[in-house]
A = this chain, B = another copy of it.
Amino acid sequence: MASDTTLPSFKPLYQQVRERLVGRLIDGTWPPGMALPSEQQLAHELGVSQGTVRKALDAMSSEHLLVRAQGRGTFVADVEDTRILFRYLRLVGDDGRRLVPESKVTSVRQHKATEPARTRLELPRGSNVWTIERTRQMDDRVSIVETILVSAKRFPGLDRFSPLPNHIYSLYGSRYGIIIGRVIEQLKAIGASAKDAALLGCEPGAPLLHIERTALGLDGVPAEWRISRCLTDNFHYLSDL
């Protein structure tokens, strides 16, 4: 046998349908915001019952890949959509307001990937990456310093898009066809470095919320590595379990 781990010898039809439909999201057949054919049409086209198509669509809906609305139809999830926007935006004001931090890019440069960057982005030795540095402010107060790394090969000519949009995932989708489907974040408390302290207007060593994010594409491959340092005086990170 090629493998000693027992693989499921059986794959449900609705999962196969799901994979075919996800494929159409990956290859751009159905771009973000577009309406899908009706359940009936899909069922006929794929040669399965409507119930099976429904189960695949429901699964993708619960993964936030699709948005379904009774009476209107089924649509490809769009990062610009307010229902999707706050999925990856966990910062909330202490008074309960959802905050959308405005960004100011301070540098975009290409260089050889360091070893941790290669590991996180699963890149081969010698790969190049883009490093984007930016600050983000909420209520006219700089409170986040952010470093974003992506593969230079997967994002050619990234420096041409200037200024980079606030919601950078919409750029990944519209310009590079890379749609973020999952995000893993690791949180710590750290002391501010001298450099970050200067940008944030706080004392060096001041406590910052350190968020290290790995964003995966629909194919499960890491597309972005991001480190944010946040001065959480007036807001917090919300986790709903």
The contact of A184 among B209, B232, B240, by CB within 8 Å, is B240
Restricting to A43-96, which residues have a CB under 8 Å from any CB of B?
Answer: 62, 87-88, 90, 92
Determine the chain B residues whose CB is within 8 A of the CB of A187 once the complex forms.
187, 209, 232, 236-239
Does chain B have a CB within 8 A of A186?
yes
Contact across chains for B209 and A87 when beta carbons are under 8 A apart: no
Known contacts: A207-B208, A239-B90, A239-B239. The answer to whether A232 contacts B188 by CB under 8 A is yes
Determine the chain B residues whose CB is within 8 A of the CB of A190 once the complex forms.
189, 207
How many of chain A's residues have a CB under 8 angstroms from any CB in B? Answer: 30
Determine the chain B residues whose CB is within 8 A of the CB of A236 once the complex forms.
186-188, 212
What is the copy number of this chain in the assembly? 2
A218–B62 Cα gap in the complex (Å)? 22
Restricting to A181-215, which residues have a CB under 8 Å from any CB of B?
Answer: 182-191, 205-210, 212
Contact across chains for A241 and B88 when beta carbons are under 8 A apart: yes
Q: From DSSP, what is the main secondary structure of chain A's interface residues?
A: strand
**Closest chain B residue to A234 by CB distance?**
B188
> Chain B nearest CB: distance from A7 CB in Å?
17
Does chain B have a CB within 8 A of A230?
yes
A193–B208 Cα gap in the complex (Å)? 16
A191–B189 Cα gap in the complex (Å)? 9
| Other 4 A-B pairs with CB < 8 A, given A187-B237, A205-B207, A207-B208 | A88-B241, A184-B240, A185-B240, A186-B239
Residues of chain A at the chain B interface (Cβ within 8 Å): 62, 87-88, 90, 92, 182-191, 205-210, 212, 230, 232, 236-241
